[in-house]
């Protein structure tokens, strides 16, 4: 099995063309709860949206992932194989495969047309906390409680690099869109940027005073949002590598953060059961109150839909 070539970073984001049609974000107060779907018996731990279709994957503490049609909630597929809670899920950019990460220390690749797992990647010493797919589709990244992250080659089926440097659990990982740069967040209170081609750390963001639970890029790739276990949300300028905004949405932990397509709205999932919505132009946080339970994951879908899920096993659709 041959190793894949790392592509040259083009800095051209094809998704931006379609995003330009939707540059007007909703006013944060306009989000209303439009549907609630009971998707798992146990907590929902992760969400992934299909790159081309109105389909969402939910991963759960019940060791399963499930695929649902939006907005109606028809169950399309169930993935069985992990032996512990799911921590992350992400579609291959082509939409043909799914990567999942789990507390069972493995990363799995699933082929959706074959409706099954085609590859199990082993090498982490402790629970895997998250996973991400490179925009080109040849590489997958994983973050683990063992304080390392790994870059996996899905064609040669091996670990190409182990990213070492965090001093505590790595809680999230994400490829910069159309780039080989990787962003991690860690319980050591830092975020780091890495070059996945070499496995070397490029930069570390300091500023959080508590363990970082999640960090993500906006679609343009010029801003990072991060959140921590005391409920603090920070925005960082990727070009100047400095913090540009810090908002305390505590005291409850903030579990996940997401940008909308325009990059003008940031949503935060809180352990107090709310989704906080920040309009960057106004600099104000509003709260959306769901049916209950900690919000563990959220995603924007298209210009008008926000999905959130968590401890109660339900998926909330906000429009």
Bridge partners of 121, per DSSP, are: 107
Predicted confidence at residue 168, as pLDDT, reads 98
How do residues 252-310 score in pLDDT, each as one tens digit?
A: 999 999 999 999 999 999 999 999 999 998 888 899 998 879 999 999 998 889 999 99
Sorted by sequence, the CB contacts under 8 Å of residue 240 that are 6+ apart come out as none
How do residues 87-104 score in pLDDT, each as one tens digit?
A: 999 999 999 999 999 999
CA–CA separation, 248 and 7 (whole Å): 39
Which long-range CB contacts under 8 A does 243-250 form with residues at least 24 apart?
243/205, 243/207, 245/280, 245/283, 246/207, 247/278, 247/285, 249/276, 249/285
Q: Indicate the DSSP class of residue 112.
A: T
Residue 251, preceding peptide bond in cis (omega within 30° of 0): yes
CB 295 within 8 A of CB 309: yes
Q: Is the pTM of this model over 0.75?
A: yes
How do residues 218-239 score in pLDDT, each as one tens digit?
A: 999 999 999 999 999 999 999 9
Q: Does residue 75 carry a pLDDT above 80?
A: yes
Tokens of 175: 């490829």
- Can you list the positions of beta strands (E) in 30-96? 33-38, 44-49, 55-60, 65-69, 75-79, 86-91
Predicted confidence at residue 30, as pLDDT, reads 78
CA–CA separation, 14 and 21 (whole Å): 13
CATH architecture of 19-318: 7 Propeller (2.130)
- How many Cα atoms within 13 Å fall on the side-chain side of residue 153? 16
Sorted by sequence, the CB contacts under 8 Å of residue 153 that are 6+ apart come out as 3, 4, 138, 139, 159, 160
N-to-C CA span, the chain = 46
CA 257 to chain centre: 8
* Domain coordinates in residue numbering, the chain: 19-318
CA–CA separation, 97 and 40 (whole Å): 22
Please report, for residues 44, 99, 103, 311, the alpha-carbon distance to residue 62 in angstroms, rounded to integers and kept in the order given. Answer: 9, 17, 11, 12
Sorted by sequence, the CB contacts under 8 Å of residue 247 that are 6+ apart come out as 232, 233, 234, 278, 285
Phi, psi of 239 (to 5 degrees): -80, -45
CA–CA separation, 178 and 101 (whole Å): 22
CA–CA separation, 309 and 274 (whole Å): 10
Indicate the pLDDT class of residue 151, thresholds 50, 70 and 90: very high
Sorted by sequence, the CB contacts under 8 Å of residue 118 that are 6+ apart come out as 97, 109, 110, 111
């Amino acid at each position: 099995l041959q190793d894949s070539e790392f592509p040259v970073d083009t800095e051209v984001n094809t998704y931006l063309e379609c995003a330009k049609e939707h540059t007007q974000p909703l006013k944060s107060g306009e989000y209303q709860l439009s549907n609630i779907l009971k998707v798992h018996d146990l907590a929902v731990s992760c969400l992934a949206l299909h790159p081309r279709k109105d389909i969402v994957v939910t991963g759960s503490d019940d060791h399963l992932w499930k695929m649902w049609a939006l907005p109606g909630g028809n169950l399309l597929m169930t993935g069985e194989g992990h032996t512990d809670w799911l921590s992350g899920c992400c579609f291959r950019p082509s939409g043909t495969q799914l990567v999942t990460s789990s507390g069972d220390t493995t990363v799995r690749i699933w082929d959706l047309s074959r409706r099954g797992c085609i590859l199990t990647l082993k090498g982490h010493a402790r629970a895997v906390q998250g996973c991400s797919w490179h925009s080109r589709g040849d590489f997958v990244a994983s973050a683990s409680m063992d304080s390392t992250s790994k870059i996996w080659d899905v064609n040669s089926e091996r670990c190409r690099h182990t990213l070492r440097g965090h001093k505590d659990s790595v809680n999230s990982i994400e490829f910069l869109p159309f780039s080989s740069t990787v962003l991690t967040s860690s319980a050591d209170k830092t975020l780091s940027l890495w070059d996945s081609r070499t496995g070397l750390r490029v930069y570390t963001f300091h500023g959080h005073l508590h363990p970082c639970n999640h960090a993500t890029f906006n679609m343009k790739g010029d801003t990072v949002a991060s959140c921590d276990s005391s409920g603090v949300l920070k925005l960082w300028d990727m070009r100047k590598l400095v913090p540009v905004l810090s908002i305390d949405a505590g005291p409850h932990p903030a579990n996940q953060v997401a940008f909308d397509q325009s990059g003008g709205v940031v949503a935060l999932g809180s352990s107090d059961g709310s989704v906080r919505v920040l309009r960057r132009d106004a600099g104000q946080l509003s709260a959306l109150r769901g049916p209950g339970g900690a919000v563990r994951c959220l995603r924007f879908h298209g210009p008008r839909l926000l999905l959130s899920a968590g401890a109660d096993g339900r998926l909330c659709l906000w429009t």
